[in-house]
């Protein structure tokens, strides 16, 4: 599992003083960077091998700008050409959100998904978490 800590910005808040629901997708994307590096260590967007197929986020508790947030990222089910990235956000010891993203190993020139190589599959499996 990967861990990433961030300090929410004041601009991440909404009119009620809570972290806006629009901040969580951005935070979770940042938390997926180590997964991106497994697929593509250089992170060069000119040769990018991934496409995002789905994102879902459950907001579980209120969160605030003046407290550190920890994003935990693991790998759920690994398919032939896709994987589920399971993420959680915690603030003050409480889980504030859970997210799932589906990444597709993708060839932009052919506009088709491609199988995940065994080496990458093995590295992803090292970060396996419960997918329930």
The answer to whether position 80 is within a domain reads: yes
Query: Residue 15's domain is classified under what CATH number?
Result: 3.10.129.10
Sign for the pseudo-dihedral over CA of 103, 5, 59, 127: positive
Instruction: Give a yes or no: residue 45 inside a domain.
Output: yes
pTM of the model: 0.93
For residue 83, being part of any structural domain is answered with yes
Residue 131 lies in a domain: no
Is residue 51 a part of any domain in this protein? yes
The residue to which tokens 């080496």 are assigned: 119
Of 35, 48, 22, 42, nearest to 83 by C-alpha is 35
Q: Tens-digit pLDDT profile for the chain (132 aa)?
A: 999 999 999 999 988 889 999 999 999 999 999 999 999 999 999 999 999 999 999 999 999 988 999 999 999 999 999 999 999 999 999 999 999 999 999 999 999 999 999 999 999 999 999 887
Count the alpha carbons within 13 Å of 18 in the hemisphere toward its beta carbon. 11
Task: Determine the structural domain holding residue 65 and report its residue range.
Answer: 2-125
- 132 assigned to some structural domain: no
Total domain count for the chain? 1
The full DSSP string for 49-113 is: -EEEEEEEEEE-S---TTS-EEEEEEEEEE-SSEEEEEEEEEETTEEEEEEEEEEEEEETTTTEE
């Amino acid at each position: 599992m990967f861990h990433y800590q961030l300090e929410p910005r004041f601009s991440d808040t909404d009119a009620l003083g809570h972290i806006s629901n629009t901040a969580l997708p951005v935070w979770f994307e940042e938390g997926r960077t180590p997964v991106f590096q497994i697929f593509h260590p250089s992170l060069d967007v000119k040769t990018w091998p991934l496409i995002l197929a789905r994102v879902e986020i459950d907001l579980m508790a209120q969160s605030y700008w003046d407290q550190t947030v920890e994003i935990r990222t693991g790998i759920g089910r690994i398919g032939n050409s896709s994987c589920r990235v399971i993420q959680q956000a915690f603030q003050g010891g409480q889980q504030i959100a859970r997210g799932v993203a589906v990444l597709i190993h993708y060839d932009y020139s052919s506009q088709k998904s491609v199988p995940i190589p065994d080496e990458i599959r093995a590295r992803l499996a090292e970060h396996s978490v419960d997918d329930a």
